[in-house]
Amino acid sequence: MKIAIVPGDGIGKEVIPAALSVLDAFGLDIEKIPLEIGYGKWKRTGSALTDDDINLIKDCDCVLFGAITTPPDPNYRSVLVRLRKELDLYANIRPFSPLKTVKLPCAKKFDFVIVRENTEGMYSGVEELHEDAAYTTRVLTRKGCERIAERACALAKPRKKNITVVHKANVLKSDSFFRDVCTGVAKRNGISYNEMLVDAMAYDLILRPEKYDVIVTTNLFGDILSDEAAAIAGGLGLCPSANVGDRYALFEPIHGSAPDIAGKGIANPIAAILSVRMMLEWMGEMESAKSISRAVDNVLQQGIVTPDMGGSYSTVDVSDAIAKMVNR
Ligand code: ATP
């Protein structure tokens, strides 16, 4: 297995080495290819991501990604959006369930996954900027909607065999198309479904998160709902994600580069460590993946946590404690 390692900027440079120390504890046969991508590279070379970087990444099986600070360049094209398109990582999978001992803003148990379409919708890249108007074309194709719905149904099968299709079909024609394709795919797969308008969903997710299991939605709605979900799950520092296609995959914490705390050694590494867990699951290393979950729970129970969780431990303290506990 060959993994491209992209720490990126800000706390990406701290949480990715921390997560790698946990991965290394398993002694798996993995070749790591370190790559510099992001704002730091843009400042040094004028380019945040080059064609050579893309080719090197395409030569790997998957990517472990930290976070990237957006360069102050009006012509800058998002590195992540480009990577998702180039590697055809069409499914963004974000699981949310509260970790042990984590204080939650709403005292509820829940366990749901947001499956966000990752290559189309409002992030189509079809845009026009004029003097007095600006246009972004929201593109939804049958192929794009079918494959994200198939992913959601595949995830739903071993769970509750139900998906919630989130849209704004009462206003947007593109969303009635999305809804119709998704519900068709669900019927074909023998998966039950319900629908929610995205505004009602934003409200209900806070009040009744326990109602949901697999949520499938379009790119921008998924982006927004998953940050909201991170808030009810205890914070951005805890939530991992996988960007998956048919050939490649990219694993990253949901959080960004957090310039406000970068360089202080206090970033919570758990989101990045749980992203490694998702990567191990994708590789089929199920026992190692489970052992990360157990180790994270143990470390939380021992109160070895960073300041965002009310503790006074450093990024490295937390990752060292988890690395020592895996495989036990
Ligand atoms: P970017 O521009 O890269 O998206 P941002 O600061 O706008 O950065 P996030 O990086 O997602 O967005 O951070 C939002 C807030 O959450 C910040 O106050 C940050 O310090 C905090 N935060 C994010 N990730 C972590 C983490 N791993 N540990 C502790 N705090 C975090």
Give 124-183 as a DSSP string: S--EEE-SS-EEE--B--HHHHHHHHHHHHHHHTTTTSEEEEEE-TTT-HHHHHHHHHHH
Q: Give me the tens of pLDDT residue by residue for the chain, a chain 328 residues long.
A: 999 999 999 999 999 999 999 999 999 999 999 999 999 999 999 999 999 999 999 999 999 999 999 888 877 788 988 898 899 999 999 999 988 777 777 767 899 999 999 999 999 889 999 999 999 999 999 999 999 999 999 999 999 999 999 999 999 999 999 999 999 999 999 999 999 999 999 999 999 999 999 999 999 999 999 999 999 998 899 999 999 999 999 999 999 999 999 999 999 999 999 999 999 999 999 999 999 999 999 999 999 999 999 999 999 999 999 999 997 6
> 97 lies in a domain?
no
Q: Are residues 26 and 145 in the same domain?
A: no
Assign residue 130 the CATH number of its domain. 3.40.718.10
Report the residue count for the chain: 328
Distance (Å, rounded) from C-alpha 129 to C-alpha 135?
A: 6
Catalytic residue among 61, 213, 227, 297: 227
Q: Are residues 156 and 243 in the same domain?
A: no
Distance (Å, rounded) from C-alpha 77 to C-alpha 89?
A: 17
> 100 lies in a domain?
no
Given 209, 232, 255, the domain boundary residue is 232
Distance (Å, rounded) from C-alpha 207 to C-alpha 201?
A: 10
Residue 214 CA to ligand 1 center (angstroms) comes to: 26
Which residue's CA is the closest to the ligand 1 atom numbered 5?
A: 258
Active site residue 123: yes
Q: Are residues 142 and 169 in the same domain?
A: yes
Q: Are residues 214 and 118 in the same domain?
A: yes
Backbone angles phi, psi at 199, to 5 degrees: -70, -40
In this predicted structure, what is the pLDDT of residue 328?
A: 63
Question: Whose structure tokens read 């379409």?
Answer: 117
The packing angle between helices 79-86 and 51-58, to 10°, is: 50
Query: Looking at this protein, which amino acid is placed at residue 147?
Result: R
Q: Are residues 244 and 228 in the same domain?
A: no
First-last CA distance in the chain: 24
> 98 lies in a domain?
no
Distance of CA 147 to the CA centre of its chain: 18
Residue 154 CA to ligand 1 center (angstroms) comes to: 31
Neighbour order of strands in the sheet with 192-197:
31-34, 2-8, 62-67, 249-253, 240-244, 91-96, 112-117, 214-217, 162-167, 192-197
Residue 9 CA: nearest ligand 1 atom is 3
Given 214, 232, 250, the domain boundary residue is 232
Residue 154's domain comprises 105-232
Distance (Å, rounded) from C-alpha 20 to C-alpha 273?
A: 8
> 298 lies in a domain?
yes
Active site residue 317: no
Name the domain count of the chain: 2
Q: Are residues 223 and 305 in the same domain?
A: no
**Considering the entire predicted model, what is its pTM?**
0.93
> 81 lies in a domain?
yes
Residue 185 CA to ligand 1 center (angstroms) comes to: 36
Active site residue 108: no
Q: Are residues 109 and 199 in the same domain?
A: yes
Q: Are residues 143 and 57 in the same domain?
A: no
> 28 lies in a domain?
yes
> 170 lies in a domain?
yes
Beta-carbon contacts of 53 under 8 Å, excluding residues fewer than 6 positions away, are 35, 37
Catalytic residue among 9, 53, 175, 223: 223
> 206 lies in a domain?
yes
Given 232, 264, 299, the domain boundary residue is 232
